[in-house]
């Protein structure tokens, strides 16, 4: 097809990067050429006809490097189909689905920079051993002990695959100036 797309991501412990890889591979299977890069490695967006960006959500917001990416490339992104996905552990809490509207609200700053043509929210992985701050590790251990969270991979691969499969035709739509 000759249409080159970018799937880019910001990830702290690798789970968002893994989702980006799956999304990118599904789009490749649909016939597109795709570059998959961490956001901090993206220099320019000229080669791409569309962009899919994903970030972990920490402290109720996209990671700082993800927001930097959006602000740095805003002019180019506005001119292209743009889709976004986010991984947030709040969705993995007991009854986490009831927090989906609240998590979506936390992403308003992202949408205010670049309105997406498609957006997805997924739970992530809780691996306490990968949390760098001792105090945060302790808080998570207590939360797990009280049943707020459970450690492990909470990503819904069926939902991720479905979203990525439905995404490709949307990315082919040209963006109106």
Q: Say how far apart CA 27 and CA 43 lie, in whole Å.
A: 22
8 A C-beta contact, residue 37 and residue 81 = no
Q: Residue 146 has what pLDDT?
A: 85
Low-confidence ranges of the chain (pLDDT < 50): 1-2, 176-177
Q: Say how far apart CA 77 and CA 163 lie, in whole Å.
A: 21
Q: Could you tell me the two tokens for 129?
A: 């051993």
Q: Residue 1 has what pLDDT?
A: 37
Q: Residue 79 has what pLDDT?
A: 93
Show the beta-strand stretches assigned E in 64-157.
Answer: 82-87, 118-122, 125-126, 152-153
- Cβ atoms within 10 Å, residue 142: 10
Q: Say how far apart CA 99 and CA 91 lie, in whole Å.
A: 7
Q: Residue 174 has what pLDDT?
A: 63
């Amino acid at each position: 097809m000759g249409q080159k797309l970018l799937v880019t991501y910001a990830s702290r412990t690798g789970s968002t990067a893994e989702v980006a890889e799956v999304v990118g591979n599904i789009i490749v299977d649909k016939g597109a050429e795709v570059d998959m890069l961490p956001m901090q490695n993206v220099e320019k967006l000229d080669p791409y006809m569309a962009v899919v960006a994903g970030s972990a959500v920490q402290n109720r917001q996209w990671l700082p490097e993800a927001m930097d990416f959006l602000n740095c490339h805003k002019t180019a992104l506005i001119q292209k189909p743009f889709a976004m996905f986010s991984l947030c552990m709040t969705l993995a809490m007991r009854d986490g689905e009831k927090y989906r509207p609240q998590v979506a609200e936390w992403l308003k700053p992202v949408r205010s920079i670049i309105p997406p043509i498609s957006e997805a929210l997924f739970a992530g992985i809780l691996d306490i051993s990968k949390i760098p701050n001792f105090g945060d590790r302790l808080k998570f251990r207590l939360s797990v002990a009280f049943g707020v969270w459970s450690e492990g991979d909470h990503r819904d691969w069926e939902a991720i695959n479905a979203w990525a499969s439905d995404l490709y035709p949307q990315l082919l739509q040209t963006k109106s100036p």
